[in-house]
Amino acid sequence: MEIEAASVAQHNKPEDCWITVHGKVYDVTKYLQDHPGGADVLAEAAGTDATHEFDNAGHSEDAWDIMQPYLVGNLQGHQEKKQKPRPRPIMSQPPSPKPTPSTKGQSLTTLATLGLFSLSITAIYYLSRHRRPFLPKSLVSWLYSKPENQGGFGFIKVLFISSSIFAVGNAILAHRLAKLIWGTKSFTSYPAHIKAPQRIRKNTLLQHGLLDPSQYRPLPLQTKTLVAPNVYKLTFALPTADTVLGLPIGQHVAIKADVGGESVSRSYTPVSNNSDRGVLELVVKVYPDGKLTSGFLGKLRVGEGVLFRGPKGAMRYRRGLCREIGMVAGGTGITPMFQIIRAVCEDDRDLTRISLVYANRREEDILLREELDRFARRYPDNLTVYYMLDQPPADWAYGRGYVTKELMREKLPAPSADSRIMLCGPPGMVQASKSSLVALGFQQPGAMAKMTDQIFLF
């Protein structure tokens, strides 16, 4: 069934919520409360085309299966945008360049020089042939002397003398002209060349590379290391040791695998970046009920391949995004935060201050703790870290329990035009933190995450 855009726009309330994604119209009214990103995300998109926001959110391919029961029909007149082929350039003879004032001046100078040179030859030859009294007799005799069995060399000798006189005259003239232009300092005292400025190198972290957002590429597992209970660091090999991954800071990749006859896709943020040539590194927690983690990644062996696609996501961190960043992370939600932390700390020119609150159940669940503590120790002006645990040990020096509004007021930057808050973790923690931050004065984020949001949800 085809549905007009005007009809979709009428269903724009939480109790009557339709959205359009890639030309398909869905009635998601009954799905609002089950949406992992929160009901308000879908409610704000009600009655509109949410294709761009849907793609940027990094949904897995399972999302399409979840949405299928809510399909109402097709959007009338919808056509997927196709990239126009670039016209091939027609090879033709380049037009002759038009003479400019500078080239005209050079041509006139050349003609004048040749003319003076010709006149000097003619004058000396004429005077020598007619035995003018102001020419030395010895010179005239030498010019027209005839060696035995050889013809006269008068003209050639005249040419030689004229060339020498002309060269000396040009040197004297150039020297005097230089004095008039540069004063008492001779032009020969200046350096022979000027040092060219160094080329500005392209930021490695922003380079394009292997990843392709439209198709999956297989990469073999290189190493697999247990870094915490049920948490593995997986290192995948790129085609060569110099290959650039092509992942902007803050974005993620999609992994697809066949698990029990079902195609399953999930999104992960690598802890490596473009400066780590030749590898892609993930930190993955294996959940007992996780289709991809338990059914595939947890059983993966060295040498076996995994399909990757990307980059995906709305965040593309660049130096100068803001002056202060507050981060609240839970569990494996630390991975996108770690990418940004690493980019800031490893950039000498990035003066951004980051305050991280990282929540876990137990101390052994803290991921990348060694790396986080090292960055905080080496770059105290850039990073402060505060850990939260539900079940802390007796000698625990950080926070206990949940991330509260009071804790965020104390540990995170205050609302301002030059501050941002980033959230990533379990849905319950993210929703509670977002509500508390709005109560503290931060702007409510939109239905889909944008880099301009004061509260950015990964």
CA-CA distance, 375 to 449, in Å (whole number)?
27
Ranges 140-154, 283-297, 312-326: which has the least confidence: 140-154
The answer to whether the beta carbons of residues 41 and 14 sit under 8 Å apart is no
pTM of the model: 0.58
**CATH of the domain spanning 324-457, picked from 3.40.190.10, 3.40.50.720, 3.40.50.300, 3.40.50.80:** 3.40.50.80
Highest mean pLDDT: which range of 25-34, 85-94, 99-108: 25-34
Answer yes or no: CATH 2.40.30.10 is held by domain 217-312: yes
Q: What is the mean pLDDT of residues 34-49?
A: 76
Is residue 131 part of an annotated ligand binding site? Answer: no
Is residue 190 part of an annotated ligand binding site? Answer: no
Longest dimension (CA), the chain: 121
The answer to whether the beta carbons of residues 246 and 210 sit under 8 Å apart is yes
Q: What is the mean pLDDT of residues 341-353?
A: 92
pLDDT at 130 (0 to 100): 56
The band of 128, judged by pLDDT with boundaries at 50, 70 and 90, is low
Q: What is the mean pLDDT of residues 247-261?
A: 89
The pLDDT tens digits of the residues spanning 385-410 come to: 999 999 999 999 999 999 999 999 99
Active site residues per annotation: 252, 268-269, 424
Q: What is the mean pLDDT of residues 434-449?
A: 90
The pLDDT tens digits of the residues spanning 305-322 come to: 999 988 888 888 988 899
Is residue 283 part of an annotated ligand binding site? Answer: yes
pLDDT at 10 (0 to 100): 86
Is residue 157 part of an annotated ligand binding site? Answer: no
What's the full length of the chain, in residues? 458
The full set of domain ranges for the chain reads 2-75, 217-312, 324-457
Measure CA of the first residue to CA of the last residue in the chain; give whole Å: 35
Token output for 378: 């080496």
Superfamily of domain 2-75: Cytochrome b5-like heme/steroid binding domain (3.10.120.10)
The reply to whether 217-312 shares the fold of 2-75 is no
Is residue 301 part of an annotated ligand binding site? Answer: no
